[in-house]
Structure 1
């Protein structure tokens, strides 16, 4: 009976150990390299939540219509270790984001380059963004 119980427990542990792998997504699952975006807008909200942080920016198009976009960043823990907190990106700040839109073409993107209006760069990355090829 002992060998059967041991193999059952071992099998259960191996099964459970693999579950967290399914909880995270890769860049290509969520975002599309064929949908590049360049957005300039005003920060309306910053969320430092797991598994990814988000910057919400309000973008005004040429006709004056305003749209809120969600820009995905790294995990709060990874950002904190780099010295980035929610205060690093103040509400009301103007940002320019170059990145890639979500595959479902919603107003969500992952930022490849994020720059404040004064030229300071922000390393908010978490999802591995593909390198550009020229």
Structure 2
């Protein structure tokens, strides 16, 4: 009985070690913990896909310089549960974006919510 029990525990330990990276996915450490707001952002592309949907948009500064941004959102299955669809945002839409910017300062971030021109709010989670 002891050899079978030892083999069983060795199998479970190996399984847990192998699954660790899959379960970890990635955390929020790459993003700031403060929300920034980008007004008058123009959607350039919306990728509705797994594991994360991506909203790409342009923002002009006061001098007319354009910065190309990308914001990571949840998966289609999660977003669909809270009111999103693959046509929620379209290229050319003017939106207000709330996101957690990358700590690196690059123009990428984790989406908190989007406010459409008609006032509709699309959140990245039920909590956001």
- TM bracket (short chain): 0.7 to 0.9
Contact (CA 8 Å) 2:98, 2:113: kept in 1 or not?
yes
Aligned residues: 126
So what's the TM-score if we normalise by structure 1? 0.78
Please tell me whether the aligned partners of residues 37 and 100 of structure 1 are also in contact (alpha carbons under 8 angstroms).
Answer: no
User: What's the Cα RMSD here?
Assistant: 2.4
CA distance in structure 1 between the aligned counterparts of 2:39 and 2:101, rounded to whole angstroms: 11
- Structure 2: gaps of 5 or more residues: none
Kindly report which structure 2 residues correspond to 1:47-86, keeping only aligned pairs within 5 A, or say none.
47-86=47-86
Distance 1:5 1:67, change over 3 A: same
Report how far residue 37 of structure 1 moved: 3.8
User: What is the correspondence of 1:1-134 to structure 2 with a 5 Å cutoff?
Assistant: 1-26=3-28, 29-34=29-34, 36-123=36-123, 125-126=124-125
What SS class does the counterpart of residue 87 from structure 2 fall into?
helix
1:115 deviates by 0.7
Q: Which structure 1 segments of 5+ residues have no match?
A: 130-134
